[in-house]
Amino acid sequence: MKDTLVTLIGGGGFLGRYVAQALLARGARVRIAQRDPRQAFFLKPQGGLGQTQFVAADLLKPESIARAVAGSDVVVNLVGILAGDFQRIQVEGARIVAEAAKTAGVGHLVHISAIGADPASPSAYGRSKGEGEAAVRAAFPGATILRPSIVFGREDQFINRFAKMIASAPIVPVLRAGTKFQPVYVGDVADAVVAALEHPALASGKTFELGGPDVLSMGALVRWIAKAVRRTPPIVELPDAVGGAIAAFGFLPGAPITADQWKMLANDNVVSGKNGLTALGITPTPLDAVAAGWLVQYRKGRRFAVPASA
């Protein structure tokens, strides 16, 4: 990857910052493209002089994406949303990036999708991810598509959200308690992106589902988080009739789910075949190996709490 110019669309986001750091460590030149590149300036010290570039680009303005990818050797589209206009961002936006990469003569494209991507999904999120993949394939047939399960890491919006609730709520409701997840560490997903770029013969035109070594139900995951933060609030697994009402109307303060996410939770979020991490030569990282390092902030006493081994 040394001296390869990699353009990261959305490179300053949660996953993007890890991808950028992994590429910079390998000597690649990294161009961060996003609407407000100033929000990604924190990445500049991670590389050498001139190794990191920043460019303003709007996913829904084809001319700005074309400028962003011009001269790139490879492109990675990291943009995704959990709420909002899925069709514009995750379908139309994905198509715009893939078409721009193809027109620019980019050697390889990696597109970040998600487990559950399916044009026939009952949820708008799942449909948009599936339709986005189809749009990418139509424009750039050799693209690599990565489908991670729930991605966890210090800045995530999943483990941290439940940890905050466990640390502050008198009762913790669990919706769809039986739904299974295979949380994957953000650093492993970043390594998967780099591996796909380094080995195009292995990854070109393929789709890889990425999951960690732990498969946990929603109920078991919430209890794991509670144990990690040393909190013991009552954890109540709600029946679907109640959970569906909460998701639909949001009458429970701080309800951690939308109506569309409720539909997604009807199916397990786990790797369906061979784990793509293994196929790409990456050993999956367990939750226990890294999560305690940041979850300590939710314990009583925070950083002064008794170490987990005590």
Q: What is the pLDDT of residue 255?
A: 52
Whole-prediction pTM:
0.91
| Residue 184 near residue 212 (C-beta atoms within 8 A) | yes
Provide the 8-state DSSP code for 32.
E
What is the Cα–Cα distance from 290 to 153, expressed in whole angstroms? 8
What Rg do the C-alpha atoms of the chain give, in angstroms? 20
Residue-wise pLDDT for 107-161, tens only, equals 999 999 999 999 999 999 999 999 999 999 999 999 999 999 999 999 998 899 8
What are the tokens at 33? 């493209």
Residue-wise pLDDT for 9-45, tens only, equals 999 999 999 999 999 999 999 999 999 988 888 888 8
| Residue 242 near residue 207 (C-beta atoms within 8 A) | no
Enumerate residues 6+ apart whose C-beta is below 8 A from 183: 149, 150, 151, 152, 158, 159, 211, 212, 214, 216, 221, 287
What is the Cα–Cα distance from 135 to 156, expressed in whole angstroms? 27
What is the Cα–Cα distance from 75 to 252, expressed in whole angstroms? 42
Residue-wise pLDDT for 285-302, tens only, equals 999 999 888 999 999 876
Token pair 């990282």: residue: 285
228-263 exposure pattern, b = at least 16 Cβ within 10 A, e = fewer: bbbbeeebebbeeeebbebbeeeebeebbbbebbbb
Higher-pLDDT residue of 310 and 306 is 306
Tell me the DSSP string of 127-176: HHHHHHHHHHHHH-TT-EEEEESSEESTT-SSHHHHHHHHHH-SSEEESS
* Closest alpha carbon to 48 in 25, 15, 69, 18: 25
Residue-wise pLDDT for 77-93, tens only, equals 999 998 889 999 999 99
3-state secondary structure (DSSP) of residue 67: helix
Task: Enumerate the H helices of the chain as residue ranges.
Answer: 14-25, 62-69, 86, 93-103, 124-139, 159-168, 186-198, 200-203, 218-228, 240-249, 259-264, 276-279, 287-290, 292-295
